[in-house]
Amino acid sequence: MVAHDVRHAPELALNLLSSKDIQHILSTATQYNGLYQLNQRDYWAMAVQDVPDLWHRRLGQLTRGSMKLLQDGQATGIPSDAITKTDCVTCLKDKQCRLPFSKLATKRSEEVLELVHSDICGPMQVASVGGA
């Protein structure tokens, strides 16, 4: 059976299938508290097609260059369409970085108390070594 228009929810602990969208009998079920409980013991979900983004996540957010190396004979079982052209959210966040702080001050004070630096993070909830 090939399921079309499906949603991927990896955080779910169970596999869900909408019976109203299926045109033929797959199994029999008993309704319990508004949900159907299938009358067979074990079910295995098998993917018919490999999604490129899925392979990218399975292999630990591998870069396109590394995926290409795997396809060129470094590994077996990776489909030819496994290279994704879009960056995933995790990879985009990983590429972000902060600009370094300037080592030189833009303005130097010329008089006493012209420029004051203060710590506005207090009072602290954790006691110091001295008990303050």
pLDDT tens-place string over residues 88-110: 778 888 888 877 777 776 777 88
Q: Which domain holds residue 85?
A: 52-95
pLDDT at res. 41:
56
Task: Indicate whether 39 belongs to any domain.
Answer: no
Task: Indicate whether 31 belongs to any domain.
Answer: no
- Token readout for 90 is 């995790």
Task: Indicate whether 113 belongs to any domain.
Answer: no
**CA-closest candidate to residue 49, choices 111, 108, 102, 4:** 4
CA geometry: angle 57, 61, 62, nearest 5 deg: 115
Of residues 41 and 94, which shows the higher confidence score? 94
Is the confidence at residue 33, as pLDDT, over 80? Answer: yes
Q: For residues 50 and 80, what is the distance between their CA atoms, to the nearest angstrom?
A: 10
Average pLDDT over residues 12-23: 66
Task: Indicate whether 77 belongs to any domain.
Answer: yes
- Token readout for 76 is 């077996």
Looking at the structure of the chain, the number of domains it has is 1
Average pLDDT over residues 78-97: 74
pLDDT at res. 101:
75
